[in-house]
Amino acid sequence: MQSSRILRVGGSAAENQTLEALLRGAGHPELMVAGVADALEAIASRSVDLVLLDLIAPSNDVFNVLRAAQPANGKTSRVPVIVTAPAAANDRVQACLQRGAEDYVTTPFDATNALILTRRIELCLQRKHLREFTIRLRASKPDDTGLIELYSSASNKFVPQEFLEHLGRKTIADVRLGDHVQREMAVFFSDIREFTRLSETMTPQQNFDFLNSYLKRATPIIRANHGFIDKYIGDAIMALFPRDPGDALRAGVELQRQLVKYNQGRTKAGYEPVRIGIGLHSGELILGTIGEESRMQTTVIADAVNVAARIEGLTKIFGVQLLVGKPIVDKLPPGHGFHLRHLGAVKAKGKTRNVEIYECFDNDPPELQQHKVNSSDLFAAAINEYREALFLSAGKSFARVAQQNPNDTVAAHYRDSCSHAVLKGGAVAWDGAERIETK
């Protein structure tokens, strides 16, 4: 670890001796120790690189040090502050973290495990140097604009700028472990059908080229509809739409249309067409950073994410392209123009709550699309009967719909479910939602 100017504020003489020995072993020959007044002066002059602040000092003194460490004009980097405190002082530690402290270390220091302290100091200093580099870039001469754009563009390829904006951070250098924010957003999941079978027919290089070829066509559609990619999960895409749930539905419809053109090219080249399923849902999400100081990543945590993934899985069960959760449909404006069919409530594998879902059939073949429009009243009546456990009557109605067009896989699915329920004689408790046991 490169030697840096580290200032210790507070702490007992014995603890500071242990601290000095640990830092010396990590390449810091001298630890500066000062009171609050001298520390404020050193921070103001930016003559220190890091402050180790013990919380035995009065709260006002502690908060004054934290306040002084923050840049006043945005043109200088903050002086990182690591607070030290006994394990029982969690409330005070949290208050300091909320006021800008970079990290914390529990006292007394463990002399037998130096890395617990020195590694956290090393990473803290690395983030400081990266922030200072960012500030220098922003203050560069006009002919350095290309360098600034290169830096920003490179980081945005791995962490979306939209994610940073929601966290209130300008660049990836400003992100800290534990940063998080709560937002309501639409979640988009898509998955390539039978990808495992497809991949078995290709070499690793062909697999890699195929995925990039597909993702290069899918990603711009998401971006054009005000969404951003949270992550690629093999052949799957998870995207977020913070502005309007309808954006996610438009992206799903447009992606299916783009897939038709993509498959035309694949067919001409002698490749098998690709099919995908898309699931959409919305709700409150937590966007933030998880991991540990030396390896962290951005992530999204919420039940809405799990539900969206389950809804996407249901496209395989129902044999359709695009399924949408009720919260998205409820927020569509009147006259939205999408072709939607309510499929009732389902309980996906691993979930305890029912989920109301809708099929969007905008990209069905014209004949099938017209069939679903024409049979909408009969299908809706059958769904209502099904939810009331009137399986015999519902099964007959679903059979009529399926008979009108054998390609109506949803009607056929419910017809078979009704037949199964009738044979079982209602032995299973029924809450109006079909249980789906596969993912």
- Whichever domain contains 85, its CATH number is 3.40.50.2300
Which string of b and e fits 28-52 if b means at least 16 CB within 10 Å? beebbbbebeebbebbeeeebbbbb
Same domain, 333 and 250: yes
Structurally, the chain folds into a number of domains equal to 3
Say if residues 149 and 60 touch (Cβ distance below 8 Å).
Answer: no
Number of H helices, E strands in the chain: 16, 14
Reference 8, options 26, 30, 34; nearest CA is 34
Q: Residue 182: which H helix or E strand, with range?
A: strand 180-192
pLDDT at 344: 92
How many CB atoms neighbour CB 195 within 10 A? 18
Rounded Cα–Cα distance for residues 124 and 88 (Å): 24
Same domain, 271 and 392: no
Q: Kindly report the backbone phi and psi dihedral angles of residue 222, in degrees, each rounded to the nearest multiple of 5, phi listed first.
A: -65, -45
What single-letter DSSP state applies at residue 423? H
pLDDT at 148: 45
Judged against a pLDDT cut of 90, whether residue 225 lies above it is answered with yes
pTM of the model: 0.63
Same domain, 327 and 420: no
- Name the band, by pLDDT with cuts 50, 70 and 90, for residue 343: very high
Domain boundary among 363, 398, 425: 363
Q: Residue 345: which H helix or E strand, with range?
A: strand 340-347
> What is the mean pLDDT of the segment spanning 43-66?
88
CATH number at residue 317: 3.30.70.1230
Domain boundary among 113, 139, 165: 139
- Name the band, by pLDDT with cuts 50, 70 and 90, for residue 171: low
In a domain, residue 146? The reply is no
pLDDT at 170: 62
pLDDT at 1: 42
Domain boundary among 115, 139, 163: 139
Same domain, 60 and 99: yes
Percent of the chain with pLDDT over 90: 36
In terms of residue numbers, what domain contains 82? Answer: 6-139
Q: Kindly report the backbone phi and psi dihedral angles of residue 386, in degrees, each rounded to the nearest multiple of 5, phi listed first.
A: -60, -40
Please provide the DSSP assignment of 14-37 as one string.
HHHHHHHHHHHHTT----EEE-HH
Reference 43, options 12, 71, 3; nearest CA is 71
Reference 3, options 19, 26, 21, 20; nearest CA is 26
Better pLDDT: 58 or 144: 58
User: In Å, how far are 167, 254, 309, 400 from 162, measured between CA atoms?
Assistant: 9, 22, 22, 48
Better pLDDT: 4 or 153: 4
Reference 215, options 180, 184, 255; nearest CA is 255
In a domain, residue 234? The reply is yes
How many CB atoms neighbour CB 234 within 10 A? 12
- Name the band, by pLDDT with cuts 50, 70 and 90, for residue 183: confident
Same domain, 90 and 58: yes
In a domain, residue 414? The reply is yes
Better pLDDT: 378 or 94: 378
Judged against a pLDDT cut of 70, whether residue 110 lies above it is answered with yes
Look-up: residue for tokens 């200032």?
Answer: 7
Rounded Cα–Cα distance for residues 36 and 391 (Å): 77
In a domain, residue 73? The reply is yes
Judged against a pLDDT cut of 80, whether residue 147 lies above it is answered with no
What single-letter DSSP state applies at residue 428? S
Better pLDDT: 231 or 332: 332
- Strand-pair partners of 290: 297
Same domain, 336 and 389: no
In a domain, residue 266? The reply is yes
Rounded Cα–Cα distance for residues 157 and 241 (Å): 18
Look-up: residue for tokens 């006292």?
Answer: 107
Average pLDDT, the chain: 84
In a domain, residue 164? The reply is no
Same domain, 406 and 319: no
Same domain, 317 and 257: yes
Judged against a pLDDT cut of 90, whether residue 348 lies above it is answered with no
In a domain, residue 152? The reply is no
Same domain, 189 and 87: no
> What is the mean pLDDT of the segment spanning 4-25?
88
Same domain, 86 and 229: no
How many CB atoms neighbour CB 135 within 10 A? 16
Q: 41-49 long-range CB contacts below 8 Å, 24 or more apart?
A: 42/7, 43/68, 43/69, 43/79, 44/68, 46/76, 46/79, 47/5, 48/5, 48/6, 48/7, 48/79, 49/4, 49/5, 49/6, 49/79, 49/80, 49/125, 49/128
- Name the band, by pLDDT with cuts 50, 70 and 90, for residue 123: confident
pLDDT at 330: 94
In a domain, residue 268? The reply is yes
User: In Å, how far are 135, 262, 282, 315 from 303, measured between CA atoms?
Assistant: 38, 33, 9, 19
Q: 116-120 long-range CB contacts below 8 Å, 24 or more apart?
A: 117/19, 117/22, 118/1, 118/22, 118/23, 118/25, 118/26, 119/293, 119/294, 120/82, 120/293
Same domain, 346 and 429: no
pLDDT at 83: 92
Reference 252, options 192, 190, 304; nearest CA is 190
Q: Express each pLDDT in 353-411 by its tens digit.
A: 888 999 999 999 999 999 999 999 999 999 999 999 999 999 999 999 999 999 999 99
Same domain, 102 and 221: no
Better pLDDT: 134 or 284: 284
Rounded Cα–Cα distance for residues 275 and 363 (Å): 13
How deeply is 326 buried, as exposed, middle or buried, from its count of CB atoms within 10 A (0-12, 13-18, 19+)?
Answer: middle
